[in-house]
Amino acid sequence: MGAGVWIWILLGLPTLFAGWCLVLRAPRQVLILVGVGGAAWGMVAGIAAWRLLGAGSATAAYGWLHVDALSAYHLFLLGLVQGASSVYAWGYFRSEVATGGLTAGQTRRFGGLWFGAAAAMSLVLLSNNLGLMWVGIEATTLLTAFLICLHVSPLSLEATWKYLVVCSVGVAFAFVGTLLVGASAQHLGLDPSEMLLWTRLRASAPHLAAGFMKLAFLFMLVGYGTKAGLAPLHSWLPDAHSQAPAPVSALFSGFMLNAAFYCVLRVLPLVEAATGDRGWGRDLLTALGLVSILVAAAFIVFQRDGKRLLAYSSVEHLGVIALGVGVGGVGVVAALWHALNHAVAKPLAFFAVGRLGKLYGTHDLGALAGAARRSVCWGAGFCGGLLVLIGVAPFAIFMSEFQVLRAAAEARAFEVVALFLVGTAIVFVGALRHVIGTAWGEACSAPAPEPVQAMDAGLVGGALLCLLVLGVWLPVPLANALSAAARVIGARP
């Protein structure tokens, strides 16, 4: 079986599941399909990523679809995040379906859009054509908008509206950038149907018109940066993450932001080669990364809402990833590794705060005081997840952030090192107080303690164990995949 077949499976399977969700009658059946089908889709994506990494690269549809190490690695992340979130969504919505809080129509809509989003994100990762990639990103915005207001309320509608307008207009700028890439390649005499193919552009990147390419990168950084939640373009992000149901927040934070940033990573080698590898694009990424870390730190200190806290933490971590790619060297590998660690830790924290929110009826961190004693499993998940996210050693996020820092020091960018340390220190102190409150705080409301269920304990325990193991030991296949993906982006010379 050729590697190209995997590409069609990756696009076809979620589309099939999405259609299947829409025709199922009972909401309980839809939930089972989301749980089981989502887990299966996650596994298929993981296996496909493994096979495609082994094959090196694969192409389908006359070169319009193409997979290399960078996209295969992101496919693995997508499968991981969406597989886990699907299993969690099954448990999360089960009580709502039983009590009628979620109607049959709403459940079908959730299932259809959930798998539709999976197909759109796969399209982003698989497309070799920059225009098709843009179509995929815009499709994720449109498909996920109504996931935010699954429960229609004034606040969720406000969040949905902001998300739709800010992301649609932002991503429209990325399309101008895509057109400018086409304009920069016009003098090369490529066939019009091949003009936007990334592989073609990469092969002739040093000959692209530098001025157009710079302009294109600026437009794409603003456009995809808006969708990736990089400050100061993040205005939609805390609202959408706080109002969406927890599984959706987990998918947004764990992978959708990375999918948008992946597009920036695709264009980076083009602009770098076109401008003579002087680090013009990388410096912009470094600056945007630092701004994101510092802005997020300022908001985290004063945050009272658990989900908004996690949302700003996503801004911070996307900032770390951008910074790592920006400083180059070992930082590129560290940034990709950081994306994996964040994709495990952030969904875990969202899972936990979502279930605690159901138990307490609020996400206010003051009201959640002492929650770890009421719900041992999810309380431990929230405290553990938050501790990992703020960078407690020896968990994986501490290690990857340390590598980013090392890369910055090796690049002799000491002002970057200083600002990065200031930002992460503020985040650490600001969020630690919430961890302590949730774990040992004086309980102000006391809902009935929740019994621990095997599936929940498996999700929490598995994620924490995974983060601990990754912190102390990097498996060889993963290390190989990381360095292969980093080679696609290219390092600062």
Interacting residues with other proteins (CB under 8 A): 129, 131-132, 134-135, 138-139, 141-142, 145-146, 149, 152-155, 157-162, 164-165, 168-169, 172, 175-176, 179-180, 182-183, 186-187, 192-193, 195-196, 211, 238-239, 242-243, 299, 302-303, 308
Q: Give the shortest CB-162-to-other proteins separation in angstroms.
A: 7
Q: What residues does 58 pair with on adjacent strands?
A: 67
- The C-alpha atoms of residue 180 and residue 222 are separated, in whole angstroms, by 14
- The C-alpha atoms of residue 406 and residue 420 are separated, in whole angstroms, by 11
Q: Give the shortest CB-337-to-other proteins separation in angstroms.
A: 32
* Residue number, 160 or 258, with CB nearest to other proteins: 160
* Residue number, 36 or 176, with CB nearest to other proteins: 176
**Residue 277 DSSP symbol:** S
DSSP of 287-300: HHHHHHHHHHHHHH
Q: Is 364 helix (H, G, I), strand (E, B) or coil?
A: strand
Residues with Cβ within 8 Å of residue 359, at least 6 apart in sequence: 371, 374, 375, 378, 447, 450
Q: Give the shortest CB-244-to-other proteins separation in angstroms.
A: 12
Q: What residues does 487 pair with on adjacent strands?
A: none
Q: Give the shortest CB-123-to-other proteins separation in angstroms.
A: 10
Query: What are the Cα distances from residue 411, in Å, to 416, 417, 483?
Result: 10, 10, 19
* Residue number, 182 or 370, with CB nearest to other proteins: 182
Q: Give the shortest CB-278-to-other proteins separation in angstroms.
A: 21
CB 408 within 8 A of CB 334: no
> Between helices 306-327 and 376-389, what is the axis angle to 10°?
30
* Residue number, 127 or 400, with CB nearest to other proteins: 127
* Residue number, 195 or 459, with CB nearest to other proteins: 195
- The C-alpha atoms of residue 110 and residue 104 are separated, in whole angstroms, by 10
Q: Is 244 helix (H, G, I), strand (E, B) or coil?
A: coil
| Amino acid at site 306 | G
Q: Give the shortest CB-142-to-other proteins separation in angstroms.
A: 5
Q: Give the shortest CB-164-to-other proteins separation in angstroms.
A: 6
| Amino acid at site 476 | V
- The C-alpha atoms of residue 189 and residue 481 are separated, in whole angstroms, by 35
* Residue number, 157 or 409, with CB nearest to other proteins: 157
Q: Give the shortest CB-259-to-other proteins separation in angstroms.
A: 16
- The C-alpha atoms of residue 25 and residue 267 are separated, in whole angstroms, by 44
* Residue number, 142 or 287, with CB nearest to other proteins: 142
Which helix H or strand E contains 104, and what residues bound it? helix 104-126
* Residue number, 167 or 334, with CB nearest to other proteins: 167
